[in-house]
Structure 1
Amino acid sequence: MATDAVVQIRSFNAGRDPQRLAMKYQKMRASTFAFLRATCHLFYQRLATQERLKDAPLVWACGDLHLENFGSYKGSNGQVYFDLNDFDEAALAPANWDLVRMLASIEIGAMDAGLKSKRAQVLCQAFVQAYAEALSLGKSYWLERETATGPIHHLLSDLRERKRSAFLDTRTDVRGGKRAIRLDGKKALPASAQERKHVKALISSYASTLSTPGFYRVLDVARRIAGTGSLGLERYMVLVQGKGGVDGNYLLDLKRAVPSSLTPYLKTKQPRWPSEGQRVVTLQQRIQAVPMAFLNSIEDAKASYVLRALQPSEDRIRISESTLAPGGQEDLIHAMGQMVAWAHLRTCARQGSAGADELIAFGKRKAWRSPLLASAKRCAQQVRQDAVLFNQAYDRGEFDVHSS
């Protein structure tokens, strides 16, 4: 099993950009939570072969649900929301697949934050309770500044007040009256001439279908450093003309879309999507209460990509934050449980997903809750074991991408 985990990780990441892949492996070595985030494929392989979760309704699942897959963003209507925010792994799956991964992330995230096991269990129970209660009500809502409380309210208030020009100043530099992406080695790396040409062609082709193609005129391109699981995949930070002038520019995120890690282990038949990019975009539009600004898929002859407004990783709340008191932790977890239930309800009766009545009945039942908590605990323990094996292999130099 040790060799199997190491081989699977190396195989899954084959062909990725070596510079950013080295960063990914380094992050995975640094914490068990980062390892969890980076090995969604391994998590579901383990779940499918080792766990026997009881039947649950089919939902359009986020797929990679964990503590840091929630965040604030500006929607397509210009308003600020807090919601699930990454859908690379989205698929039609049993509801408990989303839940068990989320609960395992709470277990592992709490451990990494120095919280005791009993505290992690309290937070897991709070999540399940909030999810079940919201699901049983049968109506989906959303969080925005006026309806959020505690740490989420503070985050949304900060984002609402943030000026685009101030955000641009954190990621770009102005030289000779023109902006350029700051290549700091932490958020962005240089793009080759071929990569820049490729991105400009993609954006130009997409812009030509719109009524305002000048908005998308590309000013600069960089390889983006972001995320954990996707780190090393083809991904760019793109500076576009926007509304004109140095303060009217916009930063966009362009990421290659690849198949969901869940599909090899799902017995559920998936729709035939025109492309992986369209799968991700369609399901993000379906799952989020209001989709993210500029969200679209772009295809060329070889691959498909997801385009959206650049979303800073800072616009998230981490359970380890020192400013988050115990009460704030429970408020945050409770809100996350509600948001997952609302997402599942929002997508009911769509292309094979369960109807609202089935989801409501599931939320009211209690028989599934204790087994789910126990399953998540076992999954978290398996992740810890796999992380130890990875760490040992990493320390032996088996994940040195520059020597392989």
Structure 2
Amino acid sequence: MRGDGTNGPGERAGALERQRTLKMARSAHAYVRGNTVKFYEWLDGLARGTLPEGPAVWICGDCHLGNLGPLADADGRVDIQVRDLDQTVVGNPTHDLVRLGLSLASAARGSDLPGVVTARMLEEMVRGYAQGLAGPGADGSPPEPDVVRTVRRRALGRQWKHLARERLKDVEPKIPLGRKFWALDAAERDTLDELFRRDAVRGLVLALNGRGEDADVRLIDAAYWMKGCSSLGFLRYAALVRIEGNGKRRLALVDLKEAVEAAAPPAPGAEMPADPAERVVAGARALSPNLGERMLPVSLLDKPVVVRELAPQDLKLDVDQFSREEAVKAAHYLAHVVGRAHGRQMDEAVRSSWRAEVLRDTQGGEAAPYWLWSSVVELAGRHEVGYLQHCLRYADKEAA
């Protein structure tokens, strides 16, 4: 795929699929992160009652390590929250716990940690989740592990120039075409020009960081964005916007991402928006207020699309290597973040009842419940086999 405009939308599919395959072949943990469908295929085969049935709340649906991290709110304040809501549904909160447990176990294996560390991680996961459910006034928030503290510090010190250099490789008002950013055709560019003239989109951009309501918003550049694993093959655009008002000129980078049907199963009788983009935004506002207030569902090229401005402080937790101590601390802390996201949607009675159910059969918090341990062990084995088969298929394609 070249960035000079010689390849249109119809020619992107092959290049995108190859990139997705390559990303998932890089490591077993990358395969786990990129294969949400396999997780829910396994889940669909479970007998009812194998996992606890929690209260129906908005869940992440794809709760792995890379989907948690620092997020800025509209005023620039930063919190650690769920940062990707593509799979969000009103569903069983247990699914987020098992998915997070699998991701942590996979990261531990990638760090060459012994199995006993995985057992300790799952124990601390349950403790952290239960603490998060109890609310901030119960036992207080747990201390941030180094892997989280380091990323938060980076986030707090970031400004527009850091985002531009990282995403655009330059601070000049232009998106550089190349490996990640691809040229648009005329119809795509015209559609994006029209989108940024809509009052709702203009209002979203101006709502952040106290920008004046009378400021002028203008699209100055845009490109197709080859990004992520789950979004490869769907609409994904980066838009560079200029904001002028009160004698000031600012730039903003806006992410436009197609919303698709979730693989995560909703709870029986759950009420959710039928439009996928509206569903994603509703889930974000429930689970991750910092992100949800910066998102807008729109229709673009007859597709449901979520629009959000990228903040310099938005970062993912990229864990290449865990130490034993850090792995256990991270499991507790991240599960606490998830518990807080679930718990804020429940009243006190429901929260207390669900917390007691989660802690049941944990031997006073000294062990992970059997349903969590057995689920993660089985899934880890299935994903290891799937990863090796994926690598073999990829190697065959490369050889051909």
Query: Is the counterpart of residue 182 in structure 1 residue 185 in structure 2?
Result: no
User: Structure 1's 16 and 119: CA in aligned 2 closer, same or farther, altered over 3 A?
Assistant: farther
| Residues 191-241 of structure 1 deviation map (CA, whole Å, 9 limit, x = unaligned) | 233222222222322557738485542111111232222222110111001
**Which residue is equivalent to 2:279?**
279
1:342 to 1:314, Cα distance in 2 relative to 1, 3 A: closer
Within-5 A mapping of 1:243-262: 243=244, 248-262=250-264
- Look up the match of 2:147: 151
Q: Distance in 1 between matches of 2:109 and 2:398?
A: 27
Aligned to 1:106: 104
SS of the residue corresponding to residue 248 of structure 1 reads strand
Residue 362 of structure 1 corresponds to 357
Paired with 2:144 and 2:305, the residues of 1 have a C-alpha distance of: 32
Q: Which residue is 2:304 aligned to?
A: 304
Matches within 5 A, 1:260-271: 260-263=262-265, 266=266, 268-271=268-271
1:133/1:364 contact within 8 Å kept: no
Change (3 A) 1:261 1:377: same
Residue 8 of structure 1: aligned partner: none
Tell me, what secondary structure is at the counterpart of 1:68? helix
Whole-angstrom CA distance in 2 between matches of 1:65 and 1:141: 24
Letter paired with 2:194: A
Partner deviation per Cα, 1:347-396 (whole Å, 9 max, x = no partner):
226xxxx9323323324423682221111110111111222222222233
Aligned to 2:63: 65
Trace 1:105-254 onto structure 2 (pairs within 5 A). Answer: 105-136=103-134, 148=144, 150-172=146-168, 179-185=173-179, 187-207=180-200, 210=203, 212=213, 215-243=216-244, 248-254=250-256
The one-character-per-residue Cα deviations of 1:150-205 (angstroms, maximum 9, x if unpaired) are: 33233222222222123223333679xx61012241x4232233222222222322
Q: Check the 8 A contact 1:138/1:360 in 2, yes or no.
A: no
Residues 189, 223 of structure 1: 8 Å contact kept: yes
| Number of equivalenced pairs | 375
C-alpha distance in 2 between matches for 1:197 and 1:39:
34
Q: CA 1:192 to 1:111, structure 2 compared with 1: closer, same or farther past 3 Å?
A: farther
Q: Contact 1:74/1:293 (CA < 8 Å) preserved in 2? A: no
Distance 1:311 1:398, change over 3 A: farther
Please tell me whether the aligned partners of residues 285 and 293 of structure 2 are also in contact (alpha carbons under 8 angstroms). no
Change beyond 3 A, Cα 1:259–1:250: same
- Tell me which amino acid in the other structure corresponds to 2:254: L
For the residues of structure 2 that align with 1:121 and 1:248, how far apart are their CA atoms? Answer: 49
Query: SS at 2:379's partner residue?
Result: helix
Q: Is the 8 A contact 2:287 2:342 kept in 1?
A: yes
Aligned-residue CA RMSD (Å)? 3.4
Secondary structure in 2 matching 1:219: strand
Partner of 2:3: none
Q: Does 1:17 align with 2:13?
A: yes
Q: Say if 1:88 and 1:312 are closer, same or farther in 2 by CA, change over 3 A.
A: farther
Deviation at 1:66, TM superposition (A): 0.6
2:206 equivalent in structure 1: none
Q: For the residues of structure 2 that align with 1:54 and 1:171, how far apart are their CA atoms?
A: 41
Q: Quote the Cα distance in structure 2 between the aligned partners of 1:335 and 1:47.
A: 25
Counterpart residue identity of residue 204, structure 1: R
Report the CA distance between 1:109 and its aligned residue. 1.8
Q: What residue ranges of structure 2 are gaps of 5+ in the alignment?
A: 1-10, 204-211, 363-367
Does residue 42 of the first structure (1) align with residue 26 of the second (2)? no
Moved more, 229-238 or 364-373: 364-373
5+ long unaligned stretches in structure 1: 1-14
Q: Which residue of 1 aligns with 2:332?
A: 334
Tell me the amino acid that sits aligned with residue 47 of structure 1.
Answer: L
> What is the Cα deviation at residue 274 of structure 1?
4.8
* Amino acid across the alignment from 1:106: L
Contact 1:47 1:379 in 2 (8 A): no
Residues 34 and 228 in structure 1, CA contact (< 8 A), matched pair in contact too:
no
Equivalent position amino acid for 2:235 in 1? E
Q: Answer yes or no: is the 8 Å Cα contact 2:164–2:170 preserved in 1.
A: no
**Aligned pair in 2 of structure 1 residues 90, 20: CA closer, same or farther (>3 Å)?**
same
Secondary structure at the aligned position of 2:271 is classed as coil
Q: Distance in 2 between matches of 1:33 and 1:61?
A: 22
- Tell me if structure 2 keeps the 8 A contact 1:138–1:359: no
Percent identity between matched residues is 23
**CA displacement 1:234-259 (0-9 Å, x = unmatched):** 10111001357997201111101111
Deviation at 1:142, TM superposition (A): 10
